[in-house]
Structure 1
Amino acid sequence: MDKYVSIRFSVLTAPEKPFQPQVKADVTQLESIYPLYLNNKAAQPNADLEVTDKFTGEVAFRCAQADAQTINQAIAGAVAATEPMARMASYERQAVLQHCVEQFRARFDELAYALCVEAGKPIRDAEGEVGRLIDTFRIAAEESVRMTGEVQPLDISARAKGYQGMWKRVPIGPCSFISPFNFPLNLAAHKIAPAIAVGCPFVMKPASRTPLGALIMGEVLSQTNLPEGAFSILPAHRDGADLFTTDDRLKLLSFTGSPEVGWDLKARSGKKKVVLELGGNAAVIIDRDADLSDALDRVIFGAFYQSGQSCIGVQRILIHDEVYEAFRDLLVARTKSLIAGDPKNRETFVGPMISDSEAGRLEAWIEEAVGLGATLLCGGQRDGRVLAATLLENVDPKAQLNVEEAFGPVAILARFSSFDEALEMVNDSKFGLQAGIFTRDLFKMFDAWDRLEVGGVVINDVPSYRVDNMPYGGVKDSGLGREGIRFAMEDMSEIRNLIVRRN
């Protein structure tokens, strides 16, 4: 008898349509110059940082750029704010977060348009990210009043008779945050919101290519009664930003970005705690009992949403021999129908990549794979920063498309003949962020959960699925620690014991 038992899963997913404001504003332009935020206040020391419209390549706006002296002032301010932040009542921190939720809802269209321009994110994806920004701050507001501890009996032996213990969590202190370009709102929110919820002052370096979302968050936070020095949001050139990593006054570094940069920062971070959310080359398994129509819709989304620029985007598609040709043909046909181009167009599914150099890198990887014997099933064409949605099969195991993180609208197909083989193929990677499996088999689900070397296993959906309250993060080269508000709050706090001798 087959060791696997068949069962049909009903997977609950969050609604795809995000919160929509009742009155939609006509937002079609941005300010020309934006300030940075130093110790809670807007400052305009310069307008040195040019930020381009990622589709047109034209300068969309300028913003202030911090130098080492400014970063030093910000860290000093955070140190000074440590005690006042820790002494804020839970309801006061909650009120700050609720204010943010209200303001982000009111500025929904502005935030989405800014994201579309600075990141080149298709407008529908941009609106989805604003919805997640709101969710993340709302969850943090709820968690801010749930910082509980525990009473612990200590009289486990005669020598501890009469002793009682209890513990609580206290803020770790000033935090350093470095956020990436691909989710400028939500990934910054996953650092800022839990820091406020737990009572930690922070300094943040948003990605220089996409700083505006974080700066708008800074503007909203500047309207609150957070203690002076509670936050600074400082676009800065990477070469001048070592203090975010090396300064010993900072007690935690949380970085989201490329593995090469992340592990280097950890090596130079000193004694502070480090949380790394890094890259991946996520795999999805299409087993022989999968609903191919459902899997098709989700794999198209997972591989090509955000123009493929997601660390949990579908990169490796592993398909059972019995359904390989059928699923491949469906996938190629659907992929060819995707519209690539201007992200401001609501029909666009694949927008520009973040830069010409990144688009050129991925085009070169496609050419390398074809040169090593891969079959190009569709796509491969590039027009500036816009790379058409691309699928390949028979990719050499040593090709960069198989080994490294593509971080663009490219996915590769491979066959497997047994579920054990598929699990081994998923694990044959230096990365381990998330994996997806389309199966109706209960035993296979638990087998995968036990054996896959990843931070999350997603059943009957793609690895690209994330809800903002879940523990999210990876293993191996994909990082250290977990995000998700409650879990980030644990990283941003420390346990403090109280021991009482009662006789």
Structure 2
Amino acid sequence: MLRKSYPYYLAGKPVAANADLEVLDKYTGECATRVAFADAATVRRAIAAAHDARPAMAAFPPDARRDVLERCVAAFRERSEELAQALCIEAGKPIRDARGEVARLVDTFRIAAGEATRIGGEVLNLEIAPRARGYRGMTRRVPIGACAFITPFNFPLNLVAHKVAPAIAAGCPFVLKPAPRTPVGALIIGEVLAQAGLPEGAFSILPCSNEDAGLLVEDERIALLSFTGSPLGWELKARAGRKKVTLELGGNAACVVDADPGAPLAHVIERLVFGAYYQSGQSCISVQRIYAHAAVYDALRDGLAAAVAALRMGDPRDERVFIGPMIDEAAAQRVEAWIADALARGARRLAGGPRQRQMLPAALLEDVPHDCDLYRQEAFGPVACLERFEDFDEALARVNDSDFGLQAGVFTGSLAHAFRAWDRLEVGGVIVGDVPSFRVDNMPYGGVKRSGLGREGVRYAIEDMTEPRLLVLAGAG
């Protein structure tokens, strides 16, 4: 059970300023808890505190940053079930998936602890011309400064971790705005950070309005803005001025199943079901478009339709449930409308059923017209589109026929096809032998085109949160 209320964190300290933000149990629709909601003046104080904490965080030794992160790892492990239950309630995430996300929270902080003492530099050979003889150069990476983080509702723990843990490892103070529909996990992380030994003022975690979050975007004291969420991110980038901006803005991920998938079809079906319907499809790399070669199409279609129809929907607290509620009824209505539009325009339903408030049964559609929203936009719900292809290069072209490019999956037993996909697919990552939904927390993760810019994955985020500083020694030869 959640506590009655939660404070926000301002300059590293809990502040029970109010209980203005109601957080709903996403399955029952009832109030689960209340959270302190920050106003514009509080956001300004948090920015000032982060800016003032820059010298202390930069001087905070790498081994001390590592120790803070390791203390967080120990605390998260001790509170793992509390975190999972909170996630199950505030996000509607099935409890088994919630426990998996807690494990990834631990992993991300653990990886960051290791990286904190590996932030190095390089020695440069400057003797490239007579005038530079005897000169020596070297670089080291230094913290970029105060950071602003804005995170979405769908991974309230791990997407926060992928911003907060690298910032601590890099020595950057920060202000975090968690999604107002799912703020509890971030505030529990704040509770742990407040006891972990960071310098004074190093962090603030503030649920607040989007309007007030605009201060984080526009204030010149913020050196880096990292935003995960909707295409709104491009508008924020335009407002951000001179600061560095990294964006992860989703996609409509595709998966290709070749004539020789390189694995038993039953395994391919199992992974496609996971990739498309895990967390009710509310993932940026959820499988949305499936292209299957004609040689395996009929068997794949029949097996996939049966597997999707068998998915259990219901209370996310039930260990047997795979499909929980969407984040709210409006989101479920939108996906339902997109499905209805595709069906009206000639698509065929292979699995699915009527919506029940914010509960939308897993749906599988065949031959969705390519100009439908369900095909071209990010569905962000429990639905996938299936169609056949005859030629592998044709399938790759269909994958690329998208405004998005986050990750793509390719099931193939051909090494040549695997490398051709890697060469030609316009995405941030190609996953061969699995679905695009696969992610390990130390790998570079991010997209191209409308899917964003920059990469997360702890070491790659640290690169964005630091910058090289050059030292030149004259006459050192």
TM-score of Structure 1 vs Structure 2, range by shorter chain:
over 0.9
Alpha carbons 2:4, 2:33 under 8 Å: kept: yes
User: Helix, strand or coil: the match of 1:284?
Assistant: strand
Displacement, 1:377? 1.1
1:275: which partner in 2? Answer: 246
What pairs with 1:291-330 in structure 2 (closer than 5 Å)? 291-330=264-303
Displacement, 1:380? 3.5
Displacement, 1:458? 0.2
What pairs with 1:65-464 in structure 2 (closer than 5 Å)? 65-259=37-231, 261-290=232-261, 291-464=264-437
- Give the distance between the partners of 2:94 and 2:354, measured in 1 at CA: 19
User: Helix, strand or coil: the match of 1:483?
Assistant: coil
Displacement, 1:31? 0.3
User: Helix, strand or coil: the match of 1:386?
Assistant: coil
Name structure 1 gaps, 5 residues minimum: 1-28
In structure 2, what residue type is equivalent to 1:45? Answer: A
In structure 1, what residue type is equivalent to 2:302? Answer: D
User: Helix, strand or coil: the match of 1:51?
Assistant: strand
**Per-residue deviation, residues 375-412 of structure 1 (Å, max 9, x unmatched):** 11110421111100000012111100110000000000
**Per-residue deviation, residues 398-457 of structure 1 (Å, max 9, x unmatched):** 100110000000000011101000000000000000000000100111111000000000
In structure 1, what residue type is equivalent to 2:367? Answer: N
Alpha carbons 2:150, 2:178 under 8 Å: kept: yes
User: Helix, strand or coil: the match of 1:383?
Assistant: coil
**Per-residue deviation, residues 195-242 of structure 1 (Å, max 9, x unmatched):** 000100000000000001100000000002211110000000112221
- Give the distance between the partners of 1:127 and 1:191, measured in 2 at CA: 20
In structure 2, what residue type is equivalent to 1:449? Answer: W
- Give the distance between the partners of 1:339 and 1:226, measured in 2 at CA: 44
1:489: which partner in 2? Answer: 462
In structure 1, what residue type is equivalent to 2:447? Answer: G
- Give the distance between the partners of 1:464 and 1:105, measured in 2 at CA: 25
Alpha carbons 1:366, 1:380 under 8 Å: kept: no
In structure 1, what residue type is equivalent to 2:47? Answer: I
- Give the distance between the partners of 1:280 and 1:488, measured in 2 at CA: 20
- Give the distance between the partners of 2:243 and 2:353, measured in 1 at CA: 44
User: Helix, strand or coil: the match of 2:437?
Assistant: coil
- Give the distance between the partners of 2:124 and 2:213, measured in 1 at CA: 43
- Give the distance between the partners of 1:72 and 1:426, measured in 2 at CA: 44
In structure 2, what residue type is equivalent to 1:265? Answer: L
- Give the distance between the partners of 2:473 and 2:212, measured in 1 at CA: 49
**Per-residue deviation, residues 3-30 of structure 1 (Å, max 9, x unmatched):** xxxxxxxxxxxxxxxxxxxxxxxxxx11
User: Helix, strand or coil: the match of 1:183?
Assistant: coil
- Give the distance between the partners of 1:46 and 1:417, measured in 2 at CA: 61
**Per-residue deviation, residues 60-89 of structure 1 (Å, max 9, x unmatched):** 000000100000000000011000000011
**Per-residue deviation, residues 169-195 of structure 1 (Å, max 9, x unmatched):** 000000000011000000000000000
**Per-residue deviation, residues 106-139 of structure 1 (Å, max 9, x unmatched):** 0000000000000000000000000000000000
- Give the distance between the partners of 2:147 and 2:387, measured in 1 at CA: 43
Alpha carbons 2:43, 2:212 under 8 Å: kept: no
User: Helix, strand or coil: the match of 2:32?
Assistant: strand
In structure 1, what residue type is equivalent to 2:408? Answer: A
Alpha carbons 2:146, 2:173 under 8 Å: kept: yes
1:46: which partner in 2? Answer: 18
- Give the distance between the partners of 1:380 and 1:432, measured in 2 at CA: 30
In structure 1, what residue type is equivalent to 2:433? Answer: N
Name structure 2 gaps, 5 residues minimum: none
**Per-residue deviation, residues 118-173 of structure 1 (Å, max 9, x unmatched):** 00000000000000000000000000000111111101111111111000000000
- Give the distance between the partners of 1:237 and 1:72, measured in 2 at CA: 13
In structure 2, what residue type is equivalent to 1:272? Answer: K
What percentage of aligned pairs have identical amino acids? 61
User: Helix, strand or coil: the match of 1:293?
Assistant: helix
In structure 2, what residue type is equivalent to 1:428? Answer: D
User: Helix, strand or coil: the match of 1:242?
Assistant: helix
In structure 1, what residue type is equivalent to 2:125? Answer: P
- Give the distance between the partners of 1:288 and 1:67, measured in 2 at CA: 57
- Give the distance between the partners of 1:211 and 1:195, measured in 2 at CA: 19
Displacement, 1:369? 0.4
In structure 2, what residue type is equivalent to 1:44? Answer: A
Normalising by structure 2, report the TM-score. 0.99
In structure 2, what residue type is equivalent to 1:40? Answer: G
Alpha carbons 1:363, 1:380 under 8 Å: kept: no
1:56 pairs with 8, 18, 28, which one? Answer: 28
1:8: which partner in 2? Answer: none
Displacement, 1:368? 0.5
- Give the distance between the partners of 2:314 and 2:401, measured in 1 at CA: 34
- Give the distance between the partners of 2:345 and 2:432, measured in 1 at CA: 33
Normalising by structure 1, report the TM-score. 0.94
